[in-house]
Amino acid sequence: MTAEHRSETRAQRIALVALFAALMAAFGLIPKIDLPLGVPITAQTMGVMLAGCMLGAALGFQALLLFLAAVALGLPLLSGGRGGMGVFFLPSAGYLLSYPLAAAVAGLVMRSLAGKGPSSPMRLAACAFAASVLGGIVVVHVFGVLGLMLLAKLSFVQAAVGTLVFVPGDLVKCVLVALIVHTVARGLPDWRFGGRRL
């Protein structure tokens, strides 16, 4: 690989990281639904799932880390126009802090399931659904429950039961991610889902 090609590849990776961080911000424009638990229902976990499935573990992690860094600096990128360090001390902080790791897990699962060879759009969609469930639901909710226990002072049972209200909507997001992956796989068959090697 020439130095010029390496530089081009690096620029492409930086562009993808920035693009998916911006996509997370765009999902934040969709109005949130506030719940008594102190954790709103938002569309942004779908961005976490997409970043992992589309970019892979490393770039997905970087995209969500960039997004959270921008939020920490005060940019109002979370749903409802929220931002600043204060959001990391609210009951929803566990969910937010899970985003980079959740994207990484989704990326690892996507790459593992999709394999190294070409795959049909339908198979890739099924892989994306499974990756989204493991990364975007399991990882996010484990961190969410821990955050509720630490910051909202809920018991494990209260936090676990409280987080269940998000699961049906999150499953819908997993289906939407699978549909997006299916569409991209048909239009761009060389896309490296999950960072997989072709």
List the structure tokens of 149.
């226990």
CA separation for the pair 158, 61 (Å, rounded): 30
Single pTM value for the model:
0.92
| CB burial of residue 177 (10 Å; 0-12, 13-18, 19+) | buried
Q: What is the pLDDT of residue 198?
A: 44
CB 176, CB 136: distance < 8 Å: no
pLDDT in tens, the chain (198 residues): 565 556 658 889 999 999 999 999 999 999 888 877 778 889 999 999 999 999 999 999 999 999 999 999 999 999 989 999 999 999 999 999 999 999 999 999 999 998 866 689 999 999 999 999 999 999 999 999 999 999 999 999 999 999 999 999 999 999 999 999 999 999 998 898 987 654
Q: What is the pLDDT of residue 190?
A: 85
Q: Domain 3-195: which CATH class? A: mainly alpha
List the structure tokens of 135.
């990364």
Q: How far is CA 130 from CA 27, 62, 114, 148, in A?
A: 22, 21, 11, 26
| CB burial of residue 83 (10 Å; 0-12, 13-18, 19+) | middle
User: In the 8-state DSSP scheme, what is residue 152?
Assistant: S
| Residue among 110, 18, 132, 29 nearest 64 (CA) | 18
